[in-house]
A and B are shown apart, each in its own frame.
Chain A
Amino acid sequence: MSSRITLCSTNNEQLLNYLNLNLSAGVFIEHIDTIEDLYVRIENNYGVPDILVLGIKVQEPIRIAEHTHVISKSTKIIIFCEHGQELTIQESIRFSPFLSSGVSTYKYISKEEFANLLQKKVNGIEKQRNHISTIAEVEKDRRASITNQPLVANYLYKLLDRVSISIGILNVDSKGKILNLNPRAQRLLKHSERKLVGTYIFNLFPENNSLEIKALIEEVVKTNNLRHNSTMVCCFNGPSGSQYFEMTISILTHTAIEPILNIILQEVTLKVQEESKRLVIENALHQSEQQLKLVINAIPELIAYVDHDLKFQFNNKAYEKWFGLTREEIIGRNIWEVIGNRSYKIVEHYVKRAISGETVTFEEKVNYPRQGEVFIRSSYVPNFSESGEVTGFVVLTSDITQLKRDEDIEKKHMLELAHTSRMITIGEMSSQLAHELSQPLTSIEAYSRACITLIEKDKTTKAEILQALKSVSSQAIRAQEIMHELRNFVKKDDSRKNICVNELIKSAIKLLRLEFQENDPDIELKLISDLPFVFADRIMIEQILINLIKNAIEAMRSIAVSDRRLVIESSSSTNNEVAVSVQDSGPGLTQYEINKIFEPFYTTKPEGMGMGLAITRSIIHSHGGNLVVDLNSHGGTTFKFTLPVTDIEFIGG
């Protein structure tokens, strides 16, 4: 924008030309003849000069300057004056209420100097003009930004309103009085902006929350740090029940005298509800876990979990009690460190099977460091990861020592009972037999005696004797029949099966185990492995073995412990027989005893009936075998019985 210089004076072409040539390019210089033209222009605000030069010949220059400045204050005015006039004019300028500093006097010296002056003024004007335009632009920008600001805020509000998480924004003063808030905040707080602005934020909440919010605001104000914010969750009693807000309070600005706080409200009702639900579930879970723990700890069985590295991960109270260890002493330890190496050796292969993914249940006699020898029944149940690998196994162990003992006692009782009932049967049978046989025997004896007497007295007839002898004969046959029936009864036993004598020997030893005393010898077994089956009554042969082993052990109780030796041998001979011998190293038998030993009612034992070996022998005979007794090289006694391999019919004896 160019500067306009208006010269109001007598026309001086030469000066004008000079100025046109020497002033900067943007300067427009004109000449007006009358002052009226200038006024018209000023009033019409058209062609208002930036610099007005009033020549010497111009009348009343002060008045013109005043007139001009009333309308256009920015116009610089230069008043030419002659020598002597200067002071007067300057005085007038100074005292004129309508003139500003933009009026100066000038005493013409040369056209060059005048041009310089003008140039300086123009520069000044242009500088000022630039300055003003800059200010104007800044002002314009400022105005623009002021008009834009609500838009941006609105935009932000809308944005915040539209995001799925409800975020309410409020600005409050340092006392908590609401200054403004976004629509979401209004919706959250269930009131319009009109109602909310000017109220205290904490009054909207129930008392306990209210105090808390108040305290939080005070804290934030006190901290007075833009970066600091405090968050709390508060409850809001909305019309549709309790709602929960997360309230974040921070300082928005502290440039003002009073800091303004910004509060962000976020509804977290669902979250809180979920949280409380989760708490309830967690509580229930915890409770059920406690109950489970209670149950697991109350179970007298030992329960533990062993991981893949064979280290304990879990154990119940019974487990600790059993081993006399604390949980810390068990968890993380290897199995063998807890149960002892001796016991681990026994269960090791079960452990390996469990680790390979097999569920194993077993009964074993183990030796625990604390309890010593105990019978346990254990189950190892492997646990699999989702990928199917064995992560460890659950150990369930119970002490069945007492159970075993009871079982054994019961077995023993059963044995005794079986033995007793067998003895009773034998007693009843022999009593019955005695009665049955007593009749024919009595009559045979009486007939015979009668015949003898009559013949001696020689007062009988042949017919009478014949009749008597016939009766004797028939009574003898009657006795035979009774015997025959008895044998049939013995033979009637259909409980005979193909059995392996070796197994019977083992089971007999097992049954006898409880009868063994501390110093009884271990039984040496010399069993041949491919023993043929025999057809026999399992129970009876087992009972015979028990009797023979018992006899052998009892026979050795009188000799030194180191000399006690018990050998059971099985063998099979070429003539289709299986032979079993029971050899002891006891004091042995005299020849007299050997001769008498199988006789009924012969006994050396105070409580014995003397039937054992007699019955044993008859049972063996009824199986078609034989039972013999002999002295052995240890000085003791050997009982040896044989049983035929095939089922042979009972033939006499």
Chain B
Amino acid sequence: MSRIYIIDDDDAVRESLSMLLRSEDFNVSAFGNPLDFLSKVVELEDGIIILDLCMPEISGMQVMEQLKLLHITMPVICITGHGDIPTAVKALKIGAYEFLEKPFDSTMLIDIVNTCIADRVNTQHIDAFNNNAEEVIGSLTPREHEVLKGMVGGLRNKQIAYDMDISIRTVELHRVHVMEKLNAKSLSDVLKIAIASGFNYVDIPTLTDT
């Protein structure tokens, strides 16, 4: 039974997620205060961290930074109410395993948690994914590259269409092709692959900006 650590300052979210994951037979420890979690984390057994990015005392991003400094390699699933793409890109770049925008379908969270556990068992998969990323990105046409750049930059289809001076329909078509080539199910997948490939269009704002 894997252990899951939930860090969210919102009582309702924290408790409901705890109950949800417990109902799925996970061992859940919940922390309302991220500093409290950070102070104990080195002694905690290995598990998966579900982290709210928007908290008053210390942001989720900073928590991830601290974890890195403490050499904690537990995977982090980020959840946030402000689900904009730059935030997602930033989180993924820092090393988040996954990014989820509130409100989310709870089955999706459970799926992610399960996938994460599986990935930890089979690390080869991750390596393969990383090795594959560069190759896959390289297979994109220049147009698809442009569209990907827009997607990673958090632009809406309409804006991408405007920037490239093509119709929205064409953008949508390119987008579908990109998703297919990258074998991505979500924007999050696309971002992960792009980041893994070292995709140089992914401009990450510095942490202090947040």
Nearest A residue to B162 via CB reads A606
Contact indicator per residue, chain A 484-497, by CB within 8 Å of chain B (1) or not (0) = 00000000000000
Q: Which of B20-28, B57-65, B195-203 contacts A (4 or more CB under 8 A)?
A: B20-28
Chain B residues 18-49 with CB under 8 Å of chain A are: 19-20, 22-24
Q: Which of A137-145, A172-180, A355-363, A430-438 contacts B (4 or more CB under 8 A)?
A: A430-438
Question: Distance in Å from the Cβ of A605 to the closest Cβ of chain B?
Answer: 10
Nearest A residue to B15 via CB reads A471
B158 at the interface (CB under 8 A from A): yes
**Given A445-B16, A447-B20; 18 other pairs, CB 8 A cutoff:** A434-B81, A435-B81, A438-B103, A439-B10, A442-B102, A443-B17, A445-B104, A446-B13, A446-B20, A449-B23, A449-B106, A450-B19, A450-B20, A453-B23, A453-B24, A468-B19, A475-B12, A606-B161
Q: Which chain B positions have C-beta within 8 A of A447?
A: 16, 19-20
Are B12 and A435 in touch, CB under 8 angstroms?
A: no
A462 at the interface (CB under 8 A from B): no
Are A439 and B12 in touch, CB under 8 angstroms?
A: yes
B111 at the interface (CB under 8 A from A): no
Using a Cβ cutoff of 8 Å, how many contacts connect chains A and B? Answer: 80
Are A454 and B13 in touch, CB under 8 angstroms?
A: no
B107 at the interface (CB under 8 A from A): yes
A441 at the interface (CB under 8 A from B): yes
Are B102 and A439 in touch, CB under 8 angstroms?
A: yes
Contact A446 B81, CB 8 Å, known A435-B54, A439-B13, A475-B12 = no
Prevailing SS type, chain A contact patch = helix
Q: How far is B168's CA from A445's CA once the two chains are assembled, in angstroms? A: 34
- Shortest 5 CB-CB contacts between residues of A and residues of B: A435-B81, A446-B16, A443-B16, A438-B102, A449-B106
Q: How far is B162's CA from A449's CA once the two chains are assembled, in angstroms? A: 41
Q: How far is B17's CA from A445's CA once the two chains are assembled, in angstroms? A: 9
Prevailing SS type, chain B contact patch = helix
Q: How far is B104's CA from A457's CA once the two chains are assembled, in angstroms? A: 23
Q: How far is B50's CA from A442's CA once the two chains are assembled, in angstroms? A: 14
A621 at the interface (CB under 8 A from B): no
Q: Which chain A positions have C-beta within 8 A of B107?
A: 449
Contact A442 B158, CB 8 Å, known A450-B20, A450-B22 = no
Q: Which chain B positions have C-beta within 8 A of A437?
A: 103
Q: List 25 A-B contacts (CB under 8 A).
A: A434-B82, A435-B81, A438-B103, A439-B10, A439-B13, A439-B81, A441-B103, A442-B79, A442-B102, A443-B12, A443-B17, A445-B16, A446-B16, A446-B17, A446-B106, A447-B16, A449-B23, A450-B19, A450-B106, A453-B20, A453-B24, A460-B23, A468-B16, A471-B16, A606-B158
Chain A residues 412-446 with CB under 8 Å of chain B are: 431, 434-446
- Of the residues B16, B54, B161, contact of A442 by C-beta under 8 Å: B16
Q: How far is B17's CA from A569's CA once the two chains are assembled, in angstroms? A: 56
